[in-house]
Amino acid sequence: MPSNKVVIRDVGPRDGLQNVEGTVSTADKVAMVEALAHAGVSRIEVGSFVSPKAVPAMADSPEVFAGITRMDGVRYEALVVNAAGAQRAIDAGADELCIAIAVSETFSQRNVRKTVAEALEEVAAIVAVASRTNTPCSAGVSSVFGCVFEGKIEPSAVVSLSRSLVDLGVGEIMLADTTGMAAPRDVHVVVPQVLAEIGSSATLGLHFHNTRGLAIANVMAGLSEGIRNFDTSLGGLGGCPFAPGATGNVATEEVAHLLALEGYDSGIDLNLLISAAAQIETALGATLPSQVLRAGARWRGHEAW
């Protein structure tokens, strides 16, 4: 029987901030990471080591890693797309490498200018770099539940790519709904097929965007399928600069709130998390989409409930 312990990785400092308008200071990024850690988030995607020409908002990722005060029990992670970036991330102090790969050929070309087969070769090179320092690797598979360029993605393609990633030595696979096309029934179709293929050889997790308002419903579907690892983003920040219409990720505080109400253990202090979301909202000078940030927890003011 699956555990009631759920692990949340907040991708806000990377996935959330890479697509916001204007410049976010290094100090504000450091403060965001530290606020997440203090709220009990045990995995944080701090930044990415990609070409600053492609994603200029992440150019200061080495400085962010250098600036944070680390907390015991927290994994500070980084997105990479090639071996050179992997080495830079490790040198900066990343505890885990998050590898981006698409199941859609068109999205792969738009994102990393490689075919899926070529991207897999790069994954192998990244894993080889990581193995020198025993740094674990997690692969985020994008466009799993649909692609804005190709439409429907067959589950068999997701299963095949997941198998290839496991065979290359990737220890975790995050199935990503990059453009918010998933519905719960899609989760119930795809997740069991991937689990049947990879078994316990790697951890399977889910990454949802709330583009069409179904992210929380999809999290519930994932929980019912035994998934206990989810990517979220503080305040509902996020998007993808290479996928038109890919609005924000599911908000960390909304998922943490759901988990608490449903009896799952995320290890997160929801009040501190909401404060962290308010802090980055103020720093950005923008209204974030999180509803829990607006309304607070259900039991606010009713502690005996």
Per annotation, catalytic residue among 98, 137, 147, 240: 240
Q: Is 303 helix (H, G, I), strand (E, B) or coil?
A: coil
Angle between helices 252-261 and 270-284 (to 10 degrees): 160
Measured between alpha carbons, how far is residue 281 from residues 65, 68, 286, 290 in Å?
A: 21, 19, 6, 10
Judge whether 131 and 123 are in contact, CB under 8 Å: no
Distance CA 95, CA 136 (A): 8
**Surface-to-core class of residue 171, CB atoms within 10 Å of its CB (0-12 exposed, 13-18 middle, 19+ buried):** middle
Q: Where are the alpha helices (DSSP H) in the chain?
A: 26-38, 61-67, 83-92, 105-112, 116-131, 155-167, 184-198, 215-224, 252-261, 270-284, 291-295
**Cross-strand partners of 229:** 7
| Known catalytic residue at 240 | yes
Residues with catalytic annotation?
240
